Amino acid sequence: MKIGTVEVPGRVFAAPMAGIADRPLRRLWRSLGAGYAVGEMTTADPRLRDSAKTTRRLTCDGEDGPIAVQLAGADPAALAEAARYCVDLGAQVIDINMGCPAKKVCNAASGSALLRDEALVARIIESVVAAVAVPVSLKLRTGWAPQNRNAPRICRMAESAGVQMLTLHGRTRACGFRGTAEYDTIAEVKSLVRIPVIANGDIDSPQKAWAVLEHTKADAVMIGRAAQARPWIFREVEHFLEHGTAMAPIRIEEVRPLLLRHLDEHFGHYGDFIGARSARKRIHFLARGLRGGAQLCERVNQTEDCAEQRRALEYFLSEAAARSPFFEYIGDMSVTPAQDDAHDGANNAQS
């Protein structure tokens, strides 16, 4: 499929989770089958442009294309100027965030809070589309609340204003990450527009991805939470969509060098102090539900030394491979809504 003139391989995309989908993780996801990985949500506020966090989030050196940057804000002029700035840095697609449900973002009238003001939505889209020569996409929720699912109307307006792709999460702002995603609204949007529509929300297995695509007729799926624990889910989903059968379990020795390289890149991206602290969360997700995972998490929690954390992960993977060629899951590896809400608050506090 294409986003405007930009070619995108495959039908399995990675979500732009704030504080999570950084450059090292996007590179890992791409190496494991993600055809498209949007950069983590970044504020359009020019006062924060020179901050270390914003600079890290906009860094795309060494990353395979297409390079997509997601911007959040409520001021059309500021968003347009930020889009131009990102294109100058190498962005090939600008994605506008109207889907984040975090209180900090919505209290600033950004993210999914924008869905309450359709006139402002129109001005933002028109300003950003006019500002850049690259394609503009939009990520949003189905509406502000279950009784007000206005995504179909907004999506038709966005298409008319020049947006080249829509990503729709099957929850409203009021839902947060609670309950289950609904896909009827995504199916309705797909029937109303001609540009690509991407389905997002609760897609955690190849079978679920297939079912969502069948129901919505969407052009692709976007995966977020599930890819934190199983970054190879992109490859699993793509295989299922192509062949109709489950892929053989991934071998530990196949992903071991990729995971260790990812950790090295993570430390290089953030530096020793922030890198060691933030790597704990990354390792915790990878270890979720795995035999020996609790012991791994305990070990990395006890040190702020990057080399020691790497040794802990390397030892864990070596021990796991010695027991079995494949990962052994003995517990729940899902992410609860409460954990999601907590991560949203923490992640957006870094913005």
Q: Are 195 and 218 in contact (CB under 8 A)?
A: no
Residue 350 has pLDDT above 50, yes or no: no
Residue 340 has pLDDT above 60, yes or no: no
In terms of Cα–Cα distance, which of 215, 191, 189 is closest to 203?
215
Q: Are strands 2-3 and 6-7 parallel, antiparallel or unpaired?
A: antiparallel
SS3 3: strand
pLDDT of residue 162: 98
Residue position matching structure tokens 């020996």? 292
Residue 346 has pLDDT above 50, yes or no: no
Residue 68 has pLDDT above 60, yes or no: yes
Residue among 100, 175, 297, 306 flagged as catalytic: 100
| Phi-psi category of residue 306: left, alpha or beta, with phi > 0 → left and psi -120 to 50 → alpha | alpha
Half-sphere exposure of 83 (CA within 13 A, CB side): 28
Gap between the Cα atoms of 107 and 154, Å rounded: 21
pLDDT of residue 334: 59
Q: Is 175 a catalytic residue?
A: no
pLDDT of residue 145: 87
Least confident of 25-39, 40-54, 236-250, 283-297: 40-54
Residue 103 has pLDDT above 90, yes or no: no
In terms of Cα–Cα distance, which of 98, 90, 132 is closest to 4?
132
Q: What angle do CA 44, 96, 186 make, to 5 degrees?
A: 155
Show me where the domains of the chain are located: 2-246, 252-323
Nearest-Å Rg of the Cα atoms of the chain is 19
In which band, very low, low, confident or very high, does the pLDDT at 54 lie, cut at 50, 70 and 90?
Answer: confident
Q: What is the mean pLDDT of residues 139-148?
A: 93
Gap between the Cα atoms of 128 and 105, Å rounded: 19
Peptide bond into 66 cis (omega under 30): yes
Q: Are strands 165-169 and 197-200 parallel, antiparallel or unpaired?
A: parallel
| Phi-psi category of residue 90: left, alpha or beta, with phi > 0 → left and psi -120 to 50 → alpha | left
Tokens of 292: 């020996």
Tokens of 202: 């609760």
Half-sphere exposure of 8 (CA within 13 A, CB side): 27
What does the mean pLDDT of the chain come to?
91
Tokens of 198: 């991407």
- 155-192 exposure pattern, b = at least 16 Cβ within 10 A, e = fewer: bebbbebebbbbbbbbbbbebbbeeebbbebbbbbbee
The CATH number of 2-246 is 3.20.20.70
In terms of Cα–Cα distance, which of 138, 38, 130, 21 is closest to 84?
130
Q: Could you read off the pLDDT of 254-271 as tens digits, one per residue?
A: 999 999 999 999 999 999
